[in-house]
A and B are shown apart, each in its own frame.
Chain A
Amino acid sequence: MSAIAVKRRPLRIGWDVTLQCLALLLLLAIPLALLVTSALNVGDPQQIPAKEFGLDNFARLGIHVDWIRNTLIIASFGTLIATALGVLLAWILYRTTLPGRRIFDILLAIPYPLGPLVGALAWNELGAPSGGLINEAFTALTGLDGPIINTSSMTGIILVMAIFEAPVAVLMIGAAMQRMDPTLEECSSVFGGGRARTAFKVTLPLMLPAILSAALFLFVSMLGAFAIPAILGAGARIQVITTGIYSLFQGYPPDYPAAAALGLLIIGLTASLVWLNSWVLRGRSYVVVSGKNYRPRQIDMGRWTWLLFAFISLYALVSLILPIATLLMFSLQSTSSVSWDVSTWTLGNYRYVIFDFPTTRAAIVNSLLLGVGTGIVGALAATLIAWTVHRSPSRGRKFLEQVAMLPQAFPHIIFAFGFLWTILILPIQGLYGSLIALLIAYVILFIPLGYRSIAGVIVQIDKSLEESARVSGASWSRVMRTVTVPLLRGGLVATWALLFMVSVREVSASVFLSGPDSQVLGPAILNFWDSGGLPRVSALAMVQAVIVLAALLVIRLVTSGETRVAEPAK
């Protein structure tokens, strides 16, 4: 036998956790610190980092109180409507015997990934007070004066936002519904609880954590929303905090300190809401999160079925079918006015945005490159973090998980703002306005999403599969290569595709970070909307939609094909 081995291994010193936490915290702390110093900057507004400090910038926010008010109104009502829609739609999908539920399940999963630009552009084309398709059709059909619908209004912004964010609530609440043990409800009915009593005394309390959690998520997301208010609010000059920051930033002279102060305001709000969310979930979520999926008890709604069917169809129509059809229609027009004559339709706009016009051509190529890159880097980083959280013996693993979730508290546009300044003070040449800068920003912003996606797969892989390989004599790297990564393959591809998708549709961080040499789709569509004419911008938005749909298809194929569950058969 070999001599006594003296290979020393440090016991329980969490260098893996420490390094990852430090890296993540640094990447978030520097932009945040620069935002704070700028918000307190009362000297030269162009000075980064600032030299003279005071609270004057916050006092100056008073003149923008309407932006803050608009933001809160939009986010509050948007959240209320989207959550109500989410509860109703999730209930219809998972708890009733509605015909065609499988198809609706797929249709409802699409609008959110398509991104806010598609919805905003399409509904602007449909519902603008002058020139909106619906208003024109109404006038043409009835001869009466319109408009009957006006999306360029607070109501319009709230409704469009609610419609496009509701699928997130459906997803979160639906998941909770599938994790609820149906015997809890059956038990209530056995003890004499009628439908209403069971619904209000058993089901609703059990669902409440998920509903609250979904509502908070939506609220945070709406506070930071940029594309929808930017497009729909432009006509009526409705500004929210995010669009306000953008105009302060782009104005002449740019008012960086005021923009930073507004940014801090919104970060403070979202951070406390994210914290509130985890606090609310801490005490309650155990009731429904059993880890196990049940088949929920499904109720035959009798003659109400058709009303529900009509409702969910209407939702699919306004959230998906109508917007896509509208964009497609406009993208085929040869002039800016809509013609119903098919012979005048043309693919010229697609040729123009894909091949002829250098800016949009570069934007498409860059977005694809960035999507691939963000997918690879982000999926690897998220896997490393998730693997450490769930497998490392080190202390502080749970802390790492929380750190990995921190980027959620930063609305994209504000993080990009701080990140831009970080780039400017870094002594690295050529980072400003480069694709690398966008890639780093995307990876940081999407770490929470990537983490959740891959961690869900890692926890399903029985730990003993890896331990068994270790005991068989395989080194860490061999275990990774022969067991962990092959078992994670489906999850890795799905995570990659997810990150690819959200990168391609990203708008609000990109508007700050993309430069002349790093055009990407989101800002390109937004700029084009100002200058390029509806047919061409619709064609560009359709290109983005097709890329997103392709990624969505990949995710769906991977996650449904990969039924090979890494668990021991019983």
Chain B
Amino acid sequence: MSSNVAVPQPRDATHAAPVRSAPAAVQTKAHIEVRDVVAAYGEKVAVHGVSVTVADDEHLSLLGPSGCGKSTLLRCIAGLETPVSGEIVIDGEVVFSSARGINLPPEKRRLSMVFQSYAIWPHMTVFENVAYGLRVQRVRGQELRDRVHTALKMVGMEELAQRPATALSGGQQQRVALARAYAPSPKAILLDEPLSNLDARLRSQMRDDLKDLQKRTKLSTIYVTHDQEEAMAMSDRIIVMRQGRIEQEAKPLVIYERPRTRFVADFIGAANVLSGTLVSADPAGPVIRVGSTEMRCAPVAEIPPPTDGGHLIAIRTVYPELLPAGTPGAVNQWPATVASRILLGDIVRYGVEFAGGSLHVQTTPKTLVEQGGEVTLSIPPEHVVLLAG
């Protein structure tokens, strides 16, 4: 796992966060490069000219709702779909180029893929499944056995090598699929929603195991998922996709802290999105009038143009604080009323009314405020994010 992610600490008032999503930190060299790829199924365009790079050993996630084009993009990289136009380069080799008429079939691209359905061949044993890619590379004899066993050991399945693939549970099939992907030392591993067929409990365990596996092996991975938690946990960088286009591309925490658009703010985590009018256009501290209050926002590189309903701001539900009523008014502090309270166990969700409108706020049950209680609502300006639309 690369350690180059400089994590801005939440609540650190001195932290001047990067305002626009920064490109991934230190890029050694582009290991996989996708340039202006357009992909379509018949008349329907699934990917609209997307460009993506993945560095050596980088773990990239393609995140988005179903139908956003993330799987199509992955399948284009694998060679399972043929883009309409664009170029794909893997490890310095052009595997697809519409301009030059190059289209390497999947078997010549030296990648591995983990499918949503696992695609474990039911007519083979666990061993044969994992050995498949190695046999294709003409690995034989002791080396074959060693490498299969190393791969199986890596996922804790070495005991089950001789088992027919049909005698495996869902989680075991998942592990075999991973071992099969890692065994032939591919140039990169593509994962297409690998955890979505598992039940919730197994999923979070497999997620941790997979993360651990990524740390131990130096391999570029592209991970396609619709689950924001998986994307956050698994990747060095996330690309959020929407309707075949890239919505935002940044490190996980930046995606969380600085969603670029309303779509990203809604799709990742829980956020309040309010609209208002711009009062101060100072990029170091823009101010937005929301309702009858003025709210100071986090610094931006440049003020985005307003949308139809004015400027939009996003406030993560975990960041507003509910202070005792009458707290001396500082920046972004207003008197407010708790209109509703829902206890969900680990978290408490409040509906708070203030002069700027109503907000959802999440806290822990450590300090509880009664429904109808008067409080002071405090929203640190660095957590008020001006959106681009």
The answer to whether residues A471 and B94 also contact, given A568-B118, A568-B119 and a CB cut-off of 8 A, is: no
Please give the distance in Å from B193's CB to the nearest CB on chain A.
11
What 0/1 pattern do residues 458 to 502 of A give for CB contact below 8 A with B? 000010110111111111101000110011010000000000000
- State the 8 A-B residue pairs at the shortest beta-carbon distance, nearest first: A472-B133, A468-B119, A464-B119, A470-B106, A473-B136, A464-B115, A568-B117, A471-B113
- Interface of chain A residues 278 through 331 with chain B (CB within 8 A): none
Q: Verify A468–B122 contact, CB threshold 8 A.
A: no
CA A483 to CA B102, docked complex, whole Å:
27
Q: Does B362 have its Cβ within 8 Å of any Cβ on chain A?
A: no
Please give the distance in Å from A516's CB to the nearest CB on chain B.
47
Q: Verify A566–B116 contact, CB threshold 8 A.
A: no
Which of A8, A464, A570 has the most chain B CB atoms inside 10 A of its CB? Answer: A464
Q: Does A4 have its Cβ within 8 Å of any Cβ on chain B?
A: yes
What 0/1 pattern do residues 93 to 136 of B give for CB contact below 8 A with A? 11100001111111111111101111111110000000011001
The answer to whether residues A568 and B197 also contact, given A464-B117, A483-B121 and a CB cut-off of 8 A, is: yes
Q: What does DSSP make chain A's interface, helix, strand, loop or mixed?
A: loop
Q: Verify B78–A564 contact, CB threshold 8 A.
A: no
Q: Does B180 have its Cβ within 8 Å of any Cβ on chain A?
A: yes
CA A565 to CA B121, docked complex, whole Å:
11
Closest to B123 in A: A486
CA A475 to CA B170, docked complex, whole Å:
28
CA A168 to CA B274, docked complex, whole Å:
65
Which among A474, A483, A567 is the interface contact of B107 at CB below 8 angstroms? A474
Q: Verify B122–A487 contact, CB threshold 8 A.
A: yes
Q: Does A11 have its Cβ within 8 Å of any Cβ on chain B?
A: yes
CA A570 to CA B94, docked complex, whole Å:
38
| 14 A-B pairs with C-beta separation under 8 A | A5-B108, A8-B103, A11-B103, A465-B119, A467-B106, A468-B180, A469-B121, A469-B132, A471-B113, A475-B105, A568-B119, A568-B120, A568-B173, A569-B168
Q: Verify A9–B107 contact, CB threshold 8 A.
A: no
CA A570 to CA B172, docked complex, whole Å:
11
Please give the distance in Å from A119's CB to the nearest CB on chain B.
40
CA A486 to CA B124, docked complex, whole Å:
10
- Interface of chain B residues 237 through 253 with chain A (CB within 8 A): none
Q: Verify A566–B122 contact, CB threshold 8 A.
A: yes
Q: Does A393 have its Cβ within 8 Å of any Cβ on chain B?
A: yes
Which of A462, A468, A474, A482 has the most chain B CB atoms inside 10 A of its CB? Answer: A468
CA A2 to CA B111, docked complex, whole Å:
15
Q: 12 new A-B pairs (CB below 8 Å) besides A467-B119, A473-B136?
A: A5-B95, A11-B82, A464-B116, A467-B106, A468-B180, A471-B111, A474-B132, A476-B105, A568-B197, A569-B168, A569-B169, A569-B173
Q: Which residues of A contact B168 (CB under 8 A)?
A: 569
CA A415 to CA B107, docked complex, whole Å:
44
Q: Which residues of A contact B78 (CB under 8 A)?
A: 467, 471
Q: Which residues of A contact B94 (CB under 8 A)?
A: 4-5
Q: Verify A9–B117 contact, CB threshold 8 A.
A: no
What 0/1 pattern do residues 151 to 193 of B give for CB contact below 8 A with A? 0000000000000001011100100000010001000001000
Q: Does B80 have its Cβ within 8 Å of any Cβ on chain A?
A: yes
Q: Verify B197–A570 contact, CB threshold 8 A.
A: yes
B residues with CB within 8 A of A: 78-80, 82, 91-95, 100-113, 115-123, 132-133, 136-137, 166, 168-170, 173, 180, 184, 190, 197
A residues with CB within 8 A of B: 1-2, 4-9, 11-12, 393, 462, 464-465, 467-476, 478, 482-483, 486-487, 489, 564-570
CA A172 to CA B98, docked complex, whole Å:
47
Q: Which residues of B contact A464 (CB under 8 A)?
A: 115-117, 119
Closest to B189 in A: A471
Q: Verify A9–B103 contact, CB threshold 8 A.
A: yes
Q: Verify B113–A468 contact, CB threshold 8 A.
A: yes
Q: Verify A564–B132 contact, CB threshold 8 A.
A: no
Q: Which residues of B contact A566 (CB under 8 A)?
A: 122-123
CA A393 to CA B42, docked complex, whole Å:
11
Q: Verify B79–A462 contact, CB threshold 8 A.
A: no
CA A468 to CA B104, docked complex, whole Å:
16
Closest to B75 in A: A467
Q: Which residues of A contact B118 (CB under 8 A)?
A: 568
Q: Verify A569–B136 contact, CB threshold 8 A.
A: no
Please give the distance in Å from B203's CB to the nearest CB on chain A.
14
The answer to whether residues A473 and B102 also contact, given A564-B166, A569-B168, A569-B170 and a CB cut-off of 8 A, is: no
Please give the distance in Å from A349's CB to the nearest CB on chain B.
46
Which of A12, A478, A569 has the most chain B CB atoms inside 10 A of its CB? Answer: A569
Closest to B177 in A: A468
Q: Verify A472–B112 contact, CB threshold 8 A.
A: yes
CA A473 to CA B123, docked complex, whole Å:
19
CA A9 to CA B108, docked complex, whole Å:
13
Which among A462, A472, A567 is the interface contact of B180 at CB below 8 angstroms? A472
CA A429 to CA B78, docked complex, whole Å:
51
CA A9 to CA B190, docked complex, whole Å:
23
Please give the distance in Å from B363's CB to the nearest CB on chain A.
38
Closest to A570 in B: B170
Q: Which residues of A contact B105 (CB under 8 A)?
A: 7, 9, 470, 475-476
Closest to B192 in A: A464
Q: Which residues of B contact A487 (CB under 8 A)?
A: 121-123
Q: Verify A472–B80 contact, CB threshold 8 A.
A: no
Q: Which residues of A contact B112 (CB under 8 A)?
A: 471-472
Which among A4, A470, A471, A564 is the interface contact of B122 at CB below 8 angstroms? A564
Q: Verify A482–B132 contact, CB threshold 8 A.
A: yes
Q: Verify A475–B93 contact, CB threshold 8 A.
A: no
Q: Which residues of A contact B180 (CB under 8 A)?
A: 468, 472
Q: Which residues of B contact A9 (CB under 8 A)?
A: 103, 105
Which among B82, B103, B110 is the interface contact of A473 at CB below 8 angstroms? B110
Q: Which residues of A contact B104 (CB under 8 A)?
A: 5, 7
Q: Verify A471–B123 contact, CB threshold 8 A.
A: no
Closest to A393 in B: B82
CA A7 to CA B79, docked complex, whole Å:
13
The answer to whether residues A467 and B110 also contact, given A474-B136, A570-B197 and a CB cut-off of 8 A, is: no
Q: Verify B102–A6 contact, CB threshold 8 A.
A: yes
Q: Verify A467–B95 contact, CB threshold 8 A.
A: no
CA A157 to CA B107, docked complex, whole Å:
60
Q: Verify B119–A564 contact, CB threshold 8 A.
A: no
Q: Verify B92–A1 contact, CB threshold 8 A.
A: yes
Which of A11, A473, A487, A564 has the most chain B CB atoms inside 10 A of its CB? Answer: A473
Which of A6, A464, A471, A474 has the most chain B CB atoms inside 10 A of its CB? Answer: A471
Closest to A489 in B: B123
Please give the distance in Å from A563's CB to the nearest CB on chain B.
10
The answer to whether residues A12 and B82 also contact, given A472-B132, A565-B122, A568-B117 and a CB cut-off of 8 A, is: yes
CA A568 to CA B101, docked complex, whole Å:
36
Q: Which residues of B contact A462 (CB under 8 A)?
A: 117, 119
CA A393 to CA B103, docked complex, whole Å:
14
Q: Verify A475–B107 contact, CB threshold 8 A.
A: yes
CA A456 to CA B20, docked complex, whole Å:
53
Closest to B169 in A: A569
CA A483 to CA B120, docked complex, whole Å:
11
Q: Verify B93–A470 contact, CB threshold 8 A.
A: no
Q: Which residues of B contact A467 (CB under 8 A)?
A: 78, 80, 106, 113, 115, 119
Q: Verify B132–A8 contact, CB threshold 8 A.
A: no
CA A335 to CA B79, docked complex, whole Å:
73
Q: Which residues of B contact A565 (CB under 8 A)?
A: 122
Q: Verify A472–B115 contact, CB threshold 8 A.
A: no
Q: Which residues of A contact B190 (CB under 8 A)?
A: 471
CA A8 to CA B115, docked complex, whole Å:
27
CA A411 to CA B112, docked complex, whole Å:
51
CA A9 to CA B111, docked complex, whole Å:
19
CA A469 to CA B133, docked complex, whole Å:
8
Closest to B78 in A: A471
Please give the distance in Å from A472's CB to the nearest CB on chain B.
4
The answer to whether residues A472 and B184 also contact, given A4-B93, A467-B113, A569-B166 and a CB cut-off of 8 A, is: yes
Q: Which residues of B contact A489 (CB under 8 A)?
A: 123
CA A9 to CA B132, docked complex, whole Å:
25
CA A9 to CA B107, docked complex, whole Å:
13
Please give the distance in Å from A9's CB to the nearest CB on chain B.
5
